[in-house]
Structure 1
Amino acid sequence: MSASAPGTTLHASGNGATVRKLARAGIVIDASCDVSPAFLADPDVAVIPIPIRIGKSTYVDQHDPEATARYMQENANGEGAHGQSIPLDAEQMRNFFTERFVLDYDSVYCLTITASRSPIHDAASQGSMMAMANIRDMRQTAGINRPFQFRVIDTKNMFAGSGIPAMALRDLLGRHVQPKDIRDELFRIIDATYTYYVPDNLGYARTRSRVRGDRSINLLSVMLGGALNIKPIIRGYHGDTHPVSKHRGRAEAWGRLFKFAAQRVADGLYTPHLIVSYAGPLADVYGTAEMAQLRTACEDAEVALHVLQMSMTGMMNIGPGGLTLAFSGPPHSEAP
């Protein structure tokens, strides 16, 4: 498949033999993907770092709590309107993949932020193809004759939305689902994942969104939003984003979104995870009555509710006080 396709799968085998069950599978995510601490603690998970430059300072986004705390402290809880992310290029991706996975794994899934907003997916696809040129020789030298698979997958979403398929994949691998069934189920989840964004500062969000090629926040909305404290709710789906509602103030916007999410949970999700990521102190999120209602809905439906610190990359792009919420479920036209 091409880099623009949902997934790119590459295979290398020392002797052309095939096996029915892959011995060990690894998961790669890029650092913009918001996932739980338990997911990150899995030894079979690796994070592609994303360097971020703000002024004269450089930070490395790789889900390190201390580095994230430093970034927030030095940049007003994540502000970086003029910051620049510096994703790894194809050559660096090749080195990262080769060093981390060639000898210890037979199957690797690399999930990235949507290709429509970032070059990471294309660089990972190119880097994986470059790495495969060396993998066969390295595995033969080490006496490993099992086939090797490397699949690069576009999550078609960002931040919390990229986290949903990543955590669903870990569940599938944990249940020892066969590779073909994993592929089909993972793409079904990706195609049904919705991310809702609530930027706290419209002017900031517009500046950063235009850097990503996103035109979902126009100038008039920024002017009116600043004067009236309007907070939009933006839906991300299939690599695209557009505003679906607007509300007076953060409390109203968050309340409507959390109630909306509770209803989606009650109606049934495709994977038992709902992720909320926030660019600020998590106590802000836990302190809302509607979050308590969402928590109860998740408990009743046996859905894991993950309230997380947003990645540095997410903070820089959405801005301080920004929030994202994501889940995978049936199509819906209604909005928060």
Structure 2
Amino acid sequence: MTVKIITDSCCDLPPELAAELGLEVLSLLVINEEREYRDQLDITPKDVYDGMREGKIYKTAQVPPHVFEESFERIAREGQSAIYLGFSSELSATFQSARMAKNSVLEKYPELDVELIDTKAASGGFGMIVYETAKKANEGASMEKVLETANFYIENIDHIFTVDDIEYLYRGGRVSKTNAVLGGMLNIKPVLEVKEGKLGPVDKVRGRQKALRRILELMEERSVDKDLSNRKVFIYHGDDPEAAERMREMIAEKFGVNDFYISFVGSVIGAHTGPGTISVFYSKRNLV
């Protein structure tokens, strides 16, 4: 029996790709004023970015515990084995909700076979972990082999990104008002990463093109064997396909990469990073 992969919408895999991979995707919530939207079901990244450009402010919330309970109960009733790959516990309470839900369902269904994995990742980095793990599961691999694949990518996926407008980081509490104002005046573009599940700064440069070049430098520095030519690279953007294409061309030229997946930074992450975000995700070493 194929191991079922459950994940949440912060993996930012588009619904059509999630369906192709056979994923069950549980939605976090996006909130504007008093209205709640289920990520990927009631609201799209494009909706969020357009709203932010109009001055709307979005908040986000974890997957509700009852959603996990319904999913896990279904797995138990069907006698399946499953793995839940979750959004970083350092960035959301979603993973804790999954743990609480599993404990609750075990009381009713002690035979429940669901492994919970904290990916310590977000957006396309999280998405790449889910993508590679689901491919292994769909090959009919054992639970042990599927978990090995997940853990390899959790340990090796690199997340590097830059935002176009530092004001959105200020709104999310990531930078001070002073830094936001000065950053805007001086055209400062922060380069950031997700490391050990936490969001943190790497560098700051002046200008968009320098930020993209800095991402290339970091990829070269961090790749274990310095050869990225045979790896897949995910490029995610905040409704800026032109910049994503420019990033793709730069990576292809520098590293000889020809396997890319380009998509949106999703509604939940995008609500905090804003339009114009460019992010790159890749494995620092090859799976052996």
User: TM-score per shorter chain, which class?
Assistant: 0.7 to 0.9
Q: CA, structure 1 residues 55+277, in 2 after alignment: closer, same or farther (shift >3 Å)?
A: same
Cα deviation, residue 273, structure 1: 3.1
In structure 2, the partner of 1:186 is: 150
Cα deviation code 1:44-81 (max 9, x no counterpart): 201111221112443321267x744334334428x65x
Q: Map residues 89-168 of structure 1 onto 2, 5 A cutoff.
A: 89-99=64-74, 101-104=75-78, 106-135=80-109, 148-168=112-132
The amino acid across from 1:291 in the alignment is: R
Structure 1 residue 251 corresponds to structure 2 residue 251: no
Cα deviation code 1:242-280 (max 9, x no counterpart): 2111111122212331464377497246x9432221111
Cα deviation, residue 106, structure 1: 2.0
**TM score, norm. by length of structure 1:** 0.74
Q: Secondary structure at the match of 1:35?
A: coil
Distance of 2:44 and 2:33 partners within structure 1: 17
Cα deviation, residue 31, structure 1: 0.9
Structure 1 residue 284 corresponds to structure 2 residue 243: yes
> Which entry has the higher C-alpha Rg, 1 or 2?
1
Cα deviation code 1:265-314 (max 9, x no counterpart): 97246x9432221111423321x2x521323567x556x31111111001
In structure 1, the partner of 2:37 is: 59
Which one has a larger percent helix, Structure 1 or Structure 2? 2
Count of residues paired in the alignment: 283
Q: CA, structure 1 residues 187+237, in 2 after alignment: closer, same or farther (shift >3 Å)?
A: same
Distance of 1:221 and 1:311 partners within structure 2: 26
In structure 2, the partner of 1:76 is: 53
Structure 1 residue 274 corresponds to structure 2 residue 233: yes
In structure 2, the partner of 1:241 is: 199
Quick check: 2:3–2:80 contact (8 Å CA) kept in 1?
A: yes
Q: CA, structure 1 residues 192+219, in 2 after alignment: closer, same or farther (shift >3 Å)?
A: farther
In structure 2, the partner of 1:140 is: none
Q: CA, structure 1 residues 188+118, in 2 after alignment: closer, same or farther (shift >3 Å)?
A: same
Q: CA, structure 1 residues 63+189, in 2 after alignment: closer, same or farther (shift >3 Å)?
A: farther
**TM score, norm. by length of structure 2:** 0.85
Quick check: 2:235–2:248 contact (8 Å CA) kept in 1?
A: no
Cα deviation code 1:170-217 (max 9, x no counterpart): 222233333223323322321222211212221221321x3xxxx5x3
In structure 2, the partner of 1:224 is: 182
Cα deviation, residue 43, structure 1: 5.9
Distance of 1:152 and 1:297 partners within structure 2: 38
* Cα RMSD after superposing both structures: 2.9
Quick check: 1:203–1:222 contact (8 Å CA) kept in 2?
A: yes
Question: Which consecutive residues of structure 1, in runs of 5 or more, have no partner in the other structure?
Answer: 1-22, 137-146, 331-336
